[in-house]
Structure 1
Amino acid sequence: MAPHGHGSKHSCEGDHDHHESPEMGLEYSLYSKIDKDNLECLNESVDGSGKTVFKPWEERLNFEIFVDSDADEELLFNIPFTGNVKLKGIIVIGGDADSHPSKMRLFKNRPRMTFDDVSCAPDQEFDLHADVNGTLEYNTKVVTFNTVYHLTIHFPTNFGAETSRVYYIGLRGDFTEAHRHGVTICTYEARANTSDHKNPLDENVSHHIQ
């Protein structure tokens, strides 16, 4: 069943309504650049359900797929990318009324965070508004999120329910492939070339053995 709104929606700094356009599917395609095998969601009630909310724009209103929190209202997503991302905007479609997350905290390039780690200051945070149609975008600080290889999203609270529900998290931005050749070159250059480091004693020993 589709969720219902939480009442009147208002905007504040960092968020705005966007207009539906054919380009939205392309703009919100960063889900395909996530390393899904290593993505993790902490406090999910069903193992693996957190991965399902990162899906194509056209499937954002599929309310049969979602993640519920387990022990309390908190959810924590550790999201590794397959390259570098310039993150520009986030859309969150949450659950019906009180189960919709009410706050979102973002951490850049801090892999495998746990709930013990989120007491530190986030790189950016937002007060969320109930958005059941994916019409409200939260704009990130592009300078801060210019080179992101790992994004952590923490939903600490909701609007009053014991648990939280999320149907869709959309990520908008630019993607750059990771460059691997630099590591290969360094590894190659670090290998010692034995022909450049001949030991005269070794040659003498070899001569006597013959």
Structure 2
Amino acid sequence: MAPHGECCGGANHHHESDETGISYSLYTKINKENLECLNEAGEGSGKTVFKPWEERLNYEAFVESDADEELLFNIPFVGNVKLKAIKVIGEDSDTHPSKMRLFKNRPSMTFDDSSVKADQEFELVKDTSGFAEYTTKVVTFNSVNHLTLHFPTNFGAETTKIYYIGLKGEFTEAHHHGVTICTYESRPMPQDHKNPLTEFSQARLGQ
């Protein structure tokens, strides 16, 4: 018999599958080329867990930690994100992460940097289908261009496995034209700055 949480989660998933899939579409706004996962056993495997909601149960694509149970994801976005919630799917075993720490706009974090206070932390439950949703503090995560997720521990195994990480929220395109205009206008243009000596000489010649 399935655990109560899984059963309820399955029912909710069946009823809200399409809606949930649309809500958890921020994976399409990740700069996958520059996304990195520290301590991944297989190179590039960390990128595979950011996938469509419909593929969350694809257990062939997963990331497993290497030297110990820790995993750290540096996730750059192609614009600004208002992050509202996160889902994490793992196995029903001790390899499932037990804690998740969030850091906003701290590019290129390492495990050494993770000793600083996180912007938000969650105690995780074992979730094999995506029934658990971890709601973020929207005031804190309302303008995110880089998100770091640190999974420091699991439920007792030597390594940690994650099959899916879902990010829910709103996306806004990054606007660069304002900076370009400022740079252009701040550069002195010769025709905008007349030389007083030249004007004086021209006036003398005209007499």
TM over 0.5: yes
Q: Which structure 2 residues correspond to residues 50-89 of structure 1 after superposition, within 5 A?
A: 50-89=46-85
Q: In 2, distance between residues paired with 1:19 and 1:183?
A: 46
Q: Please, which runs of 5 or more residues in structure 1 have no aligned partner? A: 11-15, 204-210
Aligned letter for 1:144?
T
State which of 179, 192, 195 in structure 2 corresponds to 1:183: 179
Which residue of the partner structure matches residue 19 of structure 1?
12
Aligned letter for 1:54?
F
Structure 1 residues 9, 119: CA separation in 2 closer, same or farther (over 3 Å shift)? farther
Which residue of the partner structure matches residue 157 of structure 2?
161
Percentage of identical aligned residues: 70
Q: Secondary structure at the match of 1:126?
A: strand
8 Å contact kept, 1:9–1:129: no
In terms of fraction of residues, the more helix-rich structure is: 2
8 Å contact kept, 2:82–2:142: yes
Structure 1 residues 78, 93: CA separation in 2 closer, same or farther (over 3 Å shift)? same
Task: Supply the RMSD in Å over aligned alpha carbons.
Answer: 2.2
8 Å contact kept, 1:43–1:69: yes
Which residue of the partner structure matches residue 39 of structure 1?
35
TM-score by length of 1: 0.86
Structure 1 residue runs of 4 or more that deviate by more than 4 Å after TM superposition: 7-10, 198-203
Q: In 2, distance between residues paired with 1:200 and 1:124?
A: 61
Which residue of the partner structure matches residue 203 of structure 2?
none
Aligned letter for 1:67?
V
Q: In 2, distance between residues paired with 1:148 and 1:109?
A: 6
> Number of matched residues?
194
Aligned letter for 1:81?
F
8 Å contact kept, 1:74–1:155: yes
Q: In 2, distance between residues paired with 1:47 and 1:193?
A: 51
Q: In 1, distance between residues paired with 2:198 and 2:107?
A: 48
TM-score by length of 2: 0.87
State which of 87, 91, 97 in structure 2 corresponds to 1:95: 91
8 Å contact kept, 1:95–1:164: no
CA deviations 1:53-111 (Å, max 9, x no partner) are 00000000000000010100000000011111111110000134010000000001111
Q: Please, which runs of 5 or more residues in structure 2 have no aligned partner? A: 200-207
Structure 1 residues 202, 154: CA separation in 2 closer, same or farther (over 3 Å shift)? farther
Which residue of the partner structure matches residue 148 of structure 2?
152
State which of 119, 133, 144 in structure 1 corresponds to 2:129: 133
Aligned letter for 2:141?
F
